Structures are given as structure tokens and as C-alpha cells.
Amino acid sequence: MRSLLRHSLVLALAYGAMGGNAWGTEATAPTTNPKRIMSTPVKVVGLQVYKSPTCGCCEDWIKHLEQSKLSVRYDNVSDMPALKNKLGIDSRYRSCHTAVSAEGYVFEGHVPAKYIRQFLKEKPLDAIGLVVPGMPAGSPGMEIGADFSPYQVLLLTRDGQSRVYATVQTYESQF
């Protein structure tokens, strides 16, 4: 339980540092009685997604995560480049949305849920997260008819470099 509370506190502080808060909104706080919150089980948010308010593919990627049984909260952010700079995501790795796990790992772009789960289980020591640069056709959230382009999921390291984490050759293999 202590570990769960510690992760919740770390995540809440991270949201505040990025201009949001632990309740997934930009300007309001909960009106619930604090004593009642502490007496109920704490639900850890698996991923906090930051996205543009006008991007439809971000919404579709969030649906993919939820259908894959990942817990998700999201915030609309007006200055995504500033957020990505704070998180250490170089411009060559960027896409339209960014997710941050309770442990502080980042998932940039249309990363399939199966690789997020695998990464969070492995927790590579030198990694800050996974990225799918750009917006590959057929990746989760980018489904356009039967179009599919093979793509790579990259592991982003603390020194700003990357290496191939997975290669997605077919639409079916990403699920």
C-alpha cells in the first residue's frame, strides 16, 4: 500500500510540474471530502496522456489503450513541444501525443499497448520509454481502412539515443 501511495504522490507531483494536476484537469480540483478519499482504495492511474485538444488520432489511441485494459487519464495541452522538452523527447522522436506512466516512463506516439505492457514489466535500466516517431498508417489510432505501413518501436535511452525495441511488420502483430 505504501508503494501504491508513493507512486500516486509522485505522479501527482509530476502533473503539477507540467501544469496539470492529479485529477486530470487543468484548472479544477476535486470537491470530495479529503477524509473520504483517504478511506477508499487508491486507484493508480496507469498512464497520463497529454494531447492536443483537436487531434482525433490521439482519442483513437486512448481507446486502444483502454480496450487493452490499461488505465488512462488524459489532459489537453496547448504547448506540446514544451511538455516534450521537459520530458526529454528529442524532436526527431516526436509524434502527436505523449503518455507518462506512474513510474515516470514516457510513451511517445502510437506505441501499441502490448509493447507498453512488456516495457513496464521489463523496465530497462537505461530507458526513459518507448517511441513511435511520426504517425505510421495502421498503427493503433492511425487505422485508415486496410492501409498499413510496417514501423519500428524505439527504446529511448537517457542519453538521448534510441535503439529498436520491436519491429511491427503486420497489422495483426501489434496486438
Give me the CATH number covering residue 80.
3.40.30
pLDDT value of residue 53:
87
pLDDT value of residue 10:
37
Instruction: Tell me, yes or no, whether 1 lies in a domain.
Output: no
pLDDT value of residue 20:
44
- Please state the φ and ψ torsions of residue 80, each to the nearest 5 degrees: -60, -40
Instruction: Tell me, yes or no, whether 23 lies in a domain.
Output: no
Low pLDDT (below 50) residues in the chain: 1-45
Instruction: Tell me, yes or no, whether 113 lies in a domain.
Output: yes
Tell me how many domains the chain contains: 1
Instruction: Tell me, yes or no, whether 32 lies in a domain.
Output: no
pLDDT value of residue 115:
97
Instruction: Tell me, yes or no, whether 138 lies in a domain.
Output: yes
Boundaries of domain holding 83? 47-174
Find, among 116, 120, 130, the residue nearest to 68 by Cα: 116
pLDDT value of residue 106:
97
pLDDT value of residue 101:
96
